[in-house]
Amino acid sequence: MPRRTTIILDDDVYKRLVRECVRVYGSTRALSRLINDLLRRALGEGGREELRELLSSKKHARVTAGEFEEFRRKLSRKLEA
């Protein structure tokens, strides 16, 4: 259940949050959502869990070391062009 609270932010922190919110969500209407996401990551909820889930989940593709190396070379050539 969401809780309402008031926090006092320094001007520089508020400006950074507003810029990030506009960048991510297109407006400042989701400022609470952004702050919750940032706090979850900072407190270790979600971020580490997401990474652990990604690393331990079933993989949907099999790639040999040679195939990966060939892909890396092609990608590198494209980026250098």
User: Does residue 37 form part of some domain?
Assistant: yes
Q: What is the domain count for the chain?
A: 1
Domain with 75 in it: 11-80
User: Does residue 76 form part of some domain?
Assistant: yes
Rounded distance, CA 41 to CA 46, Å? 6
User: Does residue 3 form part of some domain?
Assistant: no
Q: For 14-23, what is each residue's pLDDT tens digit?
A: 999 999 999 9
User: Does residue 52 form part of some domain?
Assistant: yes
User: Does residue 71 form part of some domain?
Assistant: yes
User: Does residue 2 form part of some domain?
Assistant: no
DSSP string across 7-71: ----HHHHHHHHHHHHHHHSSSTTHHHHHHHHHHHHHTSSHHHHHHHHHHSPPS----HHHHHHH
Q: For 53-63, what is each residue's pLDDT tens digit?
A: 766 777 777 88
pTM for the predicted model, two decimal places: 0.52
User: Does residue 1 form part of some domain?
Assistant: no
Rounded distance, CA 22 to CA 27, Å? 4
Rounded distance, CA 5 to CA 69, Å? 52
Position 30 scores a pLDDT of 93
